[in-house]
Structures are given as C-alpha cells and as structure tokens.
C-alpha cells in the first residue's frame, strides 16, 4: 500500500477540518487521535470515501507516512505537545517534520525548535486562524521555524490556505517561535475588535434605544464600508439577528455576560509590557473580559454604587448618533491593528524575527478571524514605507484619525456622562491624544521620582543627566 503524504494528530474541531482540507487538495492522509474511538468515528463519518486512513498507535501512524514525514499536531497547547513529541520521536527519522498548529506560547516553540533540530528533526510552530470553517475551506496560517523546514511544507500549506487576490494566506513568518508570536498578536487584535463591537452594541442599545434587529441593520451598513467591512462585523450582524430556538426574542439577550480570557490575549499584553510596546486598546479588551467574569460582584455593586447621572438613558439622551459611533468603531479598530503591528515591529527587532510587515497584513486578508478590508490599507502602508514606526503616521490612517477623532470624543463623553462603560473607546481616545501630544506631563513624574528617590532626569534645554536637591 502506498504511503500517505500527510499525517495529522488530534481529531478535535480544527484537526478534523484541516485533514479534510489537505485531502481535498490531493494530499492523502493518515490520522491519529489519543482516544481511538474518535478516529474510528471520523473514518466512518466525514472521512469515509476519502484518501484518509487511521492509525491506532503512533508507531503504525509513523509507518504509514512517506518520508520525510510531515506531521501536523492539532492538540491542546501546553504539556500535551511535549507529551506527544516524547511519544512520537522514538519512531521518527532524520529530516522528519513536526508542525504544532495549536495556540502554543511562543517561548515553548523556541525551545521545541532548538530541541527537535538538535535531534535532526524539523519543527514548525504555526498559528492557524479561521475556526472550523476556515480550517476546512482555507485558513490563514502563520508558520515559523527554520526556512528549510518551511520549504518542505510550502506546497501543502499554499494549497490549504485561504486564497486572496495576491496569493495564499500563508508565508514563511520567520525563525523560532515567530509564527506563534504573530498568531498571539493576531488574537490580541481580535480581542480588541470584538470588545469594540460589543461597546458599539451597548451604546446603541442603552443610549440610542435600538433593538437587536436595528443594531444589526447598522452592522450591515458598516460592513459595506471600506473602513469596517470585515468578518467580525459580518458575524456581529448574524449574532444580533439570531432568534432564540423558541422564536421568543433575541438569543444574544439571553446569553450570560461573562467572557473568558486565556492564553493568547493575556500573552499579547504580557509581551507588550515586557517589550515596552503601548497596546492600551487591546489591554482594555482583555480587562473588560476579566471584569465581566466578576458577575456576582457586579450585581452587588449595581445596588450600591451610582453612576454620574441618574437619567433614564434612552429618553434623556439623544446626543449620540450612529455616525459618531461608527467613528469610534473605526478609530478603535485602527488602534487595535496599529498597536498589534507596533508590537510585532518591536518584537521583530528584539527577537531578531525579521518580520515582513506587508506579508503579515497579506496573510491576514483571508481565512482568519480579523480579516477585513482595512488590511489592504495596512499592507499598502507598510509597502509604501517599510520603516513605518506606527500605522497612524501613514497618510491614509492619519486622515482617518483627523476626520473621526471628534466623533470618538463625542461618544466617549456621552458614555461617561451616562455612566456606560466603553473601555476600548476611551482607551483609544487617550491613546490617540497621548500619541499626538508632543509634550506630556511626565516631566512632573520625573521630578517626583528624582525628589523621593534621586532617580535623576534629563532636561529639554541642555544635554546631560541632572539631579536636584528638592527638599533643601
Ligand atoms: P482542542 O479541544 O483544543 O483539543 C482537542 C484535541 O487534543 C483532541 O484530539 C484531544 O484528544 C487532544 N489532546 C488533548 N490532550 C492531549 C494529550 N495530552 N495527548 C494527546 N492528545 C491530546 O481542539 P481544537 O479546538 O481543535 O484545538 C486544537 C488546537 O488549535 C488548540 O491549541 C487550540 O487552541 C487551537 N486553535 C483552535 C481554534 C478553534 O477555533 N477551535 C482555532 C485556532 C487554533 P482526545 O480526543 O483523546 O481528548
């Protein structure tokens, strides 16, 4: 029997769809899952009649693959990856390649690349975005590791990836853990945009008095604009239109308002803090999820703490319109991308990833959760100026800021006046106002630090390091 081109370990939501994708692109496959019943079920179900065979143990799995072996692991990130590497490596031979397609922490990937390559195997850490549908029809893929390992799987990945007008949504991202780092930041941007759309919904509901169907109509309009046309706006409209199964009311209004945060969102913010990158919009989104999870405390606080006004929001306030809310959504989304790209640029320098920013924007244009028309503008901005320090300085983006910042400010002011939380909108406004201010009040912070701790300071009028005896 001829050997299979491609092996997959882990028949979860992603693995199952990815192997069907590979097979439909002409790569015969062999699958293995820790719990064999899942393999059997898959082979009798979605895998039936396909060029896909199964294996009940890892030795059999490895034996069924042509050499050099190309094996994708789609399993839970963390210790499970190390466990499977330990279990499979006795059966691997020189040149065989393992790909970790899960949401692994990029430092774990750095370690695994070094370890596996020291044993003459290849290892690729590859972020994959697109959910179940993307995995089946074409995801965005962010592979990192050594270039020679990438080249061994380039033809497979290029066929499996989403296709956009300028090619497949996959590229060689860079060495070591860079692929997983880029996926982490992708998810950080995703956190930001999801929270931004949730804030827009909340304002339209609580201040404008609109219902789900009216808000969905606004989302549909936004999705036709260059600035907001995106997968996340598209699915926001879908979610808002969905009725509960009994047809009684909107399902969104029946969902518990607690959002989890794990792994990638947290890692984006931690990396930004470590690297000195400013990501306030993304951080605000992460923190909004943390606060949302404190449901019992929030219910208690609602009866104890009061907002700035006791007005009936809808009847008393008409000072906010959907055009201004659109300004807030556009600028906050731009800020999420700008902060994510800035974090990538800084990480690229610090970790020697040599990331190509236009290519990263290109592979996010299709297949992934943050795909949007804005990414073409982002790609153009970095093509025009590969040294661009911040997206906001590109002429098209700075024009957006200049045209829309008063709308954003109106929205933040109305929200503040009415006590409606808009963490991403207000963080974005502060970010933009700070970024465009040539002189910030940190001169006083420096004075205080020198006063209590002799930390010294620099001056604006002469070179050098200075200290003042403040208390004498
Ligand atoms: P998942 O629930 O994260 O993982 C399920 C798979 O992992 C199952 O096949 C399970 O095997 C296997 N597994 C768990 N622990 C294992 C261990 N110690 N040894 C061997 N196998 C083990 O499934 P998923 O949602 O498809 O995600 C897979 C990876 O892709 C994760 O890292 C996830 O974060 C990432 N990801 C998910 C999505 C998404 O939309 N779901 C999108 C992008 C990336 P058993 O059947 O034996 O339990």
* CATH, residue 86: 3.40.50.720
Ligand 1 pocket, residue 35 CB under 6 Å:
yes
> Residue 246: what pLDDT?
72
Ligand 1 pocket, residue 12 CB under 6 Å:
yes
CA angle 77, 81, 85 (to 5 degrees): 170
Name which residue sits closest to atom 16 of ligand 1, judged by CA: 80
Name which residue sits closest to atom 38 of ligand 1, judged by CA: 131
> Residue 263: what pLDDT?
87
Q: Indicate whether 120 belongs to any domain.
A: yes
Q: Which residue has the tokens 């179940």?
A: 132
CA 343 to ligand 1 centroid distance, Å: 27
Q: Which of 30, 72, 69, 73 is nearest to 51 (CA)?
A: 30
- What DSSP designation does 49 have? T
Residues 6+ apart with CB under 8 A from 418: 206, 207, 307, 308, 309, 311, 313, 317
CATH number at residue 452: 1.20.5.320
Ligand 1 pocket, residue 472 CB under 6 Å:
no
Please identify, among 131, 152, 176, the residue that sits at the C-terminal boundary of a domain: 176
CA 132 to ligand 1 centroid distance, Å: 12
Q: Are residues 348 and 469 in the same domain?
A: no
Which letter, b or e, does each residue of 224-256 get, where b requires 16 or more Cβ atoms within 10 Å of its Cβ?
Answer: eeebbebbbbbbbbebbbeeeeeeeebbbeeee
**Tokens coding 147:** 């270039």
Q: Are residues 321 and 193 in the same domain?
A: yes
Ligand 1 pocket, residue 340 CB under 6 Å:
no
Ligand 1 pocket, residue 34 CB under 6 Å:
yes
> Residue 316: what pLDDT?
53
Please give the radius of gyration of the chain, using alpha carbons only, rounded to the nearest integer.
Answer: 25
Q: Are residues 227 and 137 in the same domain?
A: no
CA distance 186 to 182: 6
Q: Indicate whether 127 belongs to any domain.
A: yes
Name which residue sits closest to atom 5 of ligand 1, judged by CA: 12
> Residue 90: what pLDDT?
97
Query: In 3-state terms, what secondary structure has residue 300?
Result: helix
Q: Are residues 109 and 149 in the same domain?
A: yes
CA distance 153 to 181: 20
**Tokens coding 278:** 């400013």
Q: Are residues 445 and 429 in the same domain?
A: no
Q: Are residues 70 and 201 in the same domain?
A: no
Residues 6+ apart with CB under 8 A from 424: 192, 195, 196, 199, 281, 284, 285, 288, 332, 336
What pLDDT tens digit does each residue of the chain (472 aa) get?
Answer: 799 999 999 999 999 999 999 999 999 999 999 999 999 999 999 999 999 999 999 999 999 999 999 999 999 999 999 999 999 999 999 999 999 999 999 999 999 999 999 999 999 999 999 999 999 999 999 999 999 999 999 999 999 999 999 999 999 999 999 999 999 999 999 999 999 999 999 999 999 999 999 999 999 999 999 999 999 999 999 999 999 987 779 999 999 999 987 789 999 999 999 999 999 999 999 999 999 999 999 999 999 999 887 555 555 545 689 999 999 999 999 999 999 999 999 999 999 999 999 999 999 999 999 999 999 999 999 999 999 999 999 999 999 999 999 999 999 999 999 999 999 999 999 999 999 999 999 999 999 999 999 999 999 999 999 999 999 9
Q: Indicate whether 63 belongs to any domain.
A: yes
Beta-bridge mates of residue 125: 100, 144
Q: Indicate whether 266 belongs to any domain.
A: yes
- Give alpha helix (H) positions in 175-249: 178-206, 212-222, 231-241
Q: Are residues 192 and 341 in the same domain?
A: yes
CA 127 to ligand 1 centroid distance, Å: 13
Task: Kindly list the catalytic residues.
Answer: 183, 190
Ligand 1 pocket test: pick from 7, 31, 34, 58 the residue with the most ligand atoms within 8 Å of its Cβ.
Answer: 34
CA distance 284 to 290: 10
CA 21 to ligand 1 centroid distance, Å: 17
> Residue 457: what pLDDT?
98
Q: Are residues 385 and 462 in the same domain?
A: no
Query: In 3-state terms, what secondary structure has residue 407?
Result: helix
Please identify, among 126, 144, 176, the residue that sits at the C-terminal boundary of a domain: 176
Q: Are residues 154 and 191 in the same domain?
A: no
Q: Are residues 166 and 250 in the same domain?
A: no
Ligand 1 pocket, residue 363 CB under 6 Å:
no
Please identify, among 152, 176, 200, the residue that sits at the C-terminal boundary of a domain: 176
Q: Indicate whether 163 belongs to any domain.
A: yes
Q: Are residues 144 and 214 in the same domain?
A: no
What is the sign, positive or negative, of the torsion defined by CA atoms of 316, 317, 322, 328? negative
- Please give the tally of structural domains in the chain: 3
CA 8 to ligand 1 centroid distance, Å: 12
Q: Indicate whether 1 belongs to any domain.
A: no
CA distance 293 to 42: 36
Domain that holds residue 143: 6-176
Query: In 3-state terms, what secondary structure has residue 4?
Result: strand
CATH number at residue 335: 1.10.1040.10
Q: Are residues 28 and 164 in the same domain?
A: yes
CA distance 78 to 64: 27
Q: Which atom of ligand 1 is nearest to the CA of 127?
A: 44
């Amino acid at each position: 029997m001829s050997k299979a081109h491609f092996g997959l370990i882990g028949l979860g939501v992603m693995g199952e769809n990815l192997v069907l994708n590979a097979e439909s692109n002409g790569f015969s496959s062999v699958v293995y899952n820790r719990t064999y019943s899942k393999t059997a079920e898959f082979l009798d179900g979605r895998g039936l009649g396909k060029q896909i065979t199964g294996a009940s143990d890892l030795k059999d799995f490895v034996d069924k693959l042509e050499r050099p072996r190309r094996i994708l692991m789609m399993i839970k990130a963390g210790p499970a990856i190390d466990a499977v590497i330990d279990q499979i490596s006795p059966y691997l031979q020189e040149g065989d390649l393992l790909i970790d397609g899960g949401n692994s922490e990029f430092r774990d990937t750095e370690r695994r690349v070094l370890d596996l390559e020291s044993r003459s195997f290849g290892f690729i850490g590859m972020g994959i975005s697109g959910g179940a549908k993307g995995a089946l029809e074409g995801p965005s893929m962010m592979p990192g590791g050594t270039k020679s390992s990438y080249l061994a799987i380039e033809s497979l990945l290029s066929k499996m990836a989403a296709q956009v007008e300028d090619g497949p949504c996959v590229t060689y991202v860079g060495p070591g853990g860079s692929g997983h780092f880029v996926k982490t930041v992708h998810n950080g941007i995703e956190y930001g945009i999801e929270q931004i759309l949730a804030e827009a919904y909340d304002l339209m509901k609580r201040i404008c008095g609109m219902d789900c169907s009216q808000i969905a109509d606004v989302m549909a309009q936004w999705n036709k604009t260059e600035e907001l046309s995106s997968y996340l706006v598209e699915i926001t409209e879908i979610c808002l239109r969905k009725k509960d199964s009994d047809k009684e009311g909107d399902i969104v209004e029946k969902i518990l308002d607690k959002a989890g945060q794990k792994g990638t969102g947290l890692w984006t913010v931690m990396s930004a803090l470590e690297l000195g990158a400013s990501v306030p919009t993304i951080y605000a989104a992460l923190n909004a999820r943390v606060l949302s999870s404190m449901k019992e405390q929030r219910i208690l606080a609602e009866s104890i703490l009061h907002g700035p006004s006791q007005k009936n929001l809808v009847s008393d306030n008409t000072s906010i319109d959907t055009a201004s809310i659109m300004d807030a959504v556009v600028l906050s989304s731009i800020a999420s991308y700008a902060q994510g790209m800035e974090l990538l640029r800084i990480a690229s320098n610090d970790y020697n990833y040599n990331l190509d920013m236009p290519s990263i924007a290109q592979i996010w244009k299709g297949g992934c959760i943050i795909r949007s028309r804005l990414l073409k503008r982002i790609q153009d901005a970095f093509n025009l100026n590969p040294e661009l320090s911040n997206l906001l300085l590109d002429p098209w983006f700075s024009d957006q800021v200049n045209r829309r910042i008063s709308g954003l400010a109106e929205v933040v002011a109305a929200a503040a006046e009415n006590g409606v939380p808009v963490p991403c909108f207000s963080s974005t406004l502060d970010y933009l106002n700070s970024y465009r201010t040539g002189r910030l009040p940190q001169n006083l912070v420096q004075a205080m630090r020198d006063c209590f701790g002799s930390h010294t300071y620099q001056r604006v009028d002469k070179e050098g390091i200075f200290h003042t005896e403040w208390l004498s």
